[in-house]
Amino acid sequence: IEIVGAPIFNERNILKGAVLLMYDITHLKKLELMRKDFVANVSHELKTPITSITGFAETLKNGAKNDPASLDRFLTIIYDESTRMQGLIEDLLTLSKLEKDEFEITRTVVDMTQLVQEILPVVDQRAEQKGITLTTHVDDSITIQADAERIKQVMINLLTNAISYTLKDGDVNLSITDEGDTVHIQVSDNGIGIPEKAVPRIFERFYRVDKARSRNTGGTGLGLAIVKHIIEVHDGCINVESEPEKGSVFHVYLPKYDPALS
């Protein structure tokens, strides 16, 4: 609390009283702290790849380019790190648009079966590389009124996470069911799970249970923050149930499109 005080005098300059103003600045302080944290996080996340890019480029310049094996290895690192940075910058731009309320969604009537067909090729390959069995179930003829590209992004993010945080030969399932007014999307895995105290935080920007592991999987820590925003602008909600070493289930609920009502 911030307190500002001032004396009050009468016409003959005799002290009559005082005014005290008390401002509750907890909220402001919190916002300021969050902003500082955010800037620190972004800087750190960008610094890591750029340090390795400049380091390896310099090593190549200083002669390593003459050794074909090093040339190949260092160029691969430079390429991977630049791709990571690009991903991070794209995520940051998406998040900043989402948070500024200038995020425009173009709603059309989206058929869930078709949407799943469109995202499967993107995630199938990743699952296969890791020997993970990916199964899907979609109830017949469910439609939502939504921005198809954004909802695809949500499902791809959730499925990519499920694949990343599940050990080799695990199982990931996507199921979309009709629950009256609501469409229930479930992404479940039998992976590493999330510790109980981390569960409330995983939708925060940059929050990661295990930074090292997440970086190895190419994560930026922004994926779930973006997912949550997209679901909320579609008047939906998201939550997670998880148990360490057993796996996680992400539940997304979206309003169903009812042609009879429009």
Q: Which residues contact 65 (CB under 8 A, 6 or more apart)?
A: 71
- Residue 229 contacts ligand ADP per CB under 6 A: no
Closest contact distance (angstroms) between CB of 45 and ligand ADP is: 10
Per-residue contact string for residues 176-195; x = within reach of ligand ADP by CB under 6 A: -------------x-xxxx-
Q: Name the residue nearer to ligand ADP (CB basis): 73 or 213.
A: 213
Q: Which of 49, 112, 176, 208 binds ligand ADP (CB under 6 A)?
A: 208
- Residue 209 contacts ligand ADP per CB under 6 A: yes
Q: Which of 112, 138, 162, 185 binds ligand ADP (CB under 6 A)?
A: 162
Tell me how many residues contact ligand ADP (CB under 6 A): 22
Using alpha carbons, list the distances in angstroms from residue 131 to 10, 160, 166, 204: 84, 14, 10, 30
Give the three-class secondary structure for 5.
strand
- Residue 123 contacts ligand ADP per CB under 6 A: no
Per-residue contact string for residues 57-96; x = within reach of ligand ADP by CB under 6 A: ----------------------------------------
Q: Are 187 and 249 in contact (CB under 8 A)?
A: yes
Q: Are 86 and 45 in contact (CB under 8 A)?
A: no
Is residue 254 exposed (0-12), middle (13-18) or buried (19+ Cβ within 10 Å)? buried
Q: Which of 94, 143, 190, 248 binds ligand ADP (CB under 6 A)?
A: 248
Q: Which of 92, 202, 230, 254 binds ligand ADP (CB under 6 A)?
A: 202
Q: Are 19 and 9 in contact (CB under 8 A)?
A: no
Amino acid letter, residue 20: L
Q: Are 163 and 249 in contact (CB under 8 A)?
A: no
Q: Are 193 and 249 in contact (CB under 8 A)?
A: no
> Quick one: angle between helices 26-61 and 68-99, nearest 10?
160
- Residue 224 contacts ligand ADP per CB under 6 A: yes
Q: Name the residue nearer to ligand ADP (CB basis): 49 or 221.
A: 221
Closest contact distance (angstroms) between CB of 200 and ligand ADP is: 11
Q: Which residues pair with 228 in a beta bridge?
A: none
Q: Which span (6-14, 67-75, 103-111, 221-229) binds ligand ADP, by CB under 6 A?
A: 221-229
Q: Are 240 and 251 in contact (CB under 8 A)?
A: yes
Q: Name the residue nearer to ligand ADP (CB basis): 92 or 142.
A: 92
Residue with tokens 């991903």: 87
Q: Which residues are near ligand ADP by CB under 6 A?
A: 161-162, 165, 189, 191-194, 202, 207-210, 214, 219-225, 248
